Amino acid sequence: MSNSNNKRISERLKNANLRRQLKETDSQNNANLSTVSIIAKKALVHKPYTDKQGSQLRKKSQKSPSTKSLAIATKQLSSMVKTGLPIVEALNLVAETSDSRSISVAFRDVAIGIGKGKTIVEMMEEHPHVFDEMYLALADAGEQAGLLAEVLEREASLLETLSKLKSQIQSALTYPIAITVLVAVVVIIMLVFVIPIFADMYKDSGSKLPALTQIFIDASNWIKNIYNVITSILIFYGLYWALSQARKQKSFVKSMDKLLIRIPVVGNLIIKSNLANFSRTLASLSTAGVPLLESLVISKRTLGNVVYREIIEDMYQSIRVGNPIYMTLNESPNIPKMFSSMFRIGEQTGELGSMVDKLAEFYEEEVSTAVKSLTSILEPLMIVVVAGVVAVILVAMYLPMFNMMNTIK
């Protein structure tokens, strides 16, 4: 009797465990399908374009999307392909839900091309303003290896990282630019509205004004003249045009980039952001199976500083003639020793991909630290600058009063 009861209890426990496992499996499947279901609910019914309509839309959407928007679209595409959704349907769903017109047109056009028998990379190549060489190389590697979903996920992660690095640098530069504009506005307001009041008051005194006060009064009189304002605008526009033309000259850009990396704090941030971009891109391409030389060419184009693009170009040429990967890095004075050493260790141990990935993580963290350091330095410095400018103007305006009081005494 006891044995039969134990047997029934044992069977009930097994059934209970089985039901729990089935529930867990269902919840996991639901979690995997959540992205697809949410996007599918938001999507509109897709109506294929005619060739004429597609051509017209491509002409209207030649603007490059933001890295963040492309990262989101790629992540959505990866999630849907992973759940087993056909690539054409997944592309159409992402196209319908994307906030970027360029991405919508490009993804839908790629879907149409695949439906006609073309490969995903062949169609992506028709939209260079959306899919750069890095994106194409990863997609090609994933398509050939039959691991498109996994490679797209890696592509999305890479784009998110690059977007984060870009936004961190922009945030570090936004504060000083905003403060500079604020200072300029404050000075102009004081020159136009405040200083003339004091100028009228001192005009009847007949006494000679201090040099500092006279400078600000002369500046106020000058800025109130409309012809002087127009002249200034034309001069600034001329300087801007000259600078834009100079930036087209490689020698000028190289000189400026060399100068930038030598500026304290700012130069450190530029160096680390370039190394982080290069490491992350190279690691992603290498892991996806893209050949090293091709990876170097693509990674070089993600760098914003000419000095580091030339270093990678030298590295490419050195590897082509049979030299070790790390040799060029080791010889360059603009590459930290730790960076070249990690490449040497990775090459010697056959673990270059993992070593470069670790370098990417390290320098991404270094960029975050450098941004925080730069911001912590600039914030109090900018406050002091604003307070100093206002204080100088006020002192200049009240200085004649102090002189009069001293004369009376």
Tokens of 156: 């999305």
**Contacts with 7 (C-beta within 8 Å, 6 or more apart), sequence order:** none
pTM: 0.68
Per-residue pLDDT of the chain (409 residues; tens, 9 = 90+): 444 544 444 454 444 444 454 444 444 444 444 444 444 444 433 444 444 444 444 444 567 888 889 999 999 999 998 888 899 999 999 999 888 899 999 999 999 999 999 999 899 999 999 998 888 888 888 888 788 888 888 888 888 888 888 887 787 778 788 888 888 888 888 888 888 888 888 887 667 888 888 999 999 999 888 888 899 899 999 999 999 898 888 889 889 999 989 988 788 888 998 999 899 888 888 887 888 898 898 888 888 889 999 999 999 999 999 898 888 888 888 999 989 899 899 888 888 888 898 998 899 888 888 888 888 888 888 888 888 888 898 888 888 887 777 665 5
The domains located in the chain, with CATH, are 1-131 (1.20.81), 160-409 (1.20.81.30)
Model confidence over 211-265: pLDDT tens digits?
Answer: 888 999 999 999 888 888 899 899 999 999 999 898 888 889 889 999 989 988 7
**Rounded Cα gap, residues 267 and 258, in angstroms:** 9
Mean pLDDT score across all residues of the chain: 81
Model confidence over 54-63: pLDDT tens digits?
Answer: 444 444 456 7
* 237 exposure class (CB count in 10 Å sphere: 0-12, 13-18, 19+): exposed
Nearest-CA neighbor of 157 among 347, 364, 298?
364
Q: What are phi and psi of 263, to 5 degrees?
A: -75, 130
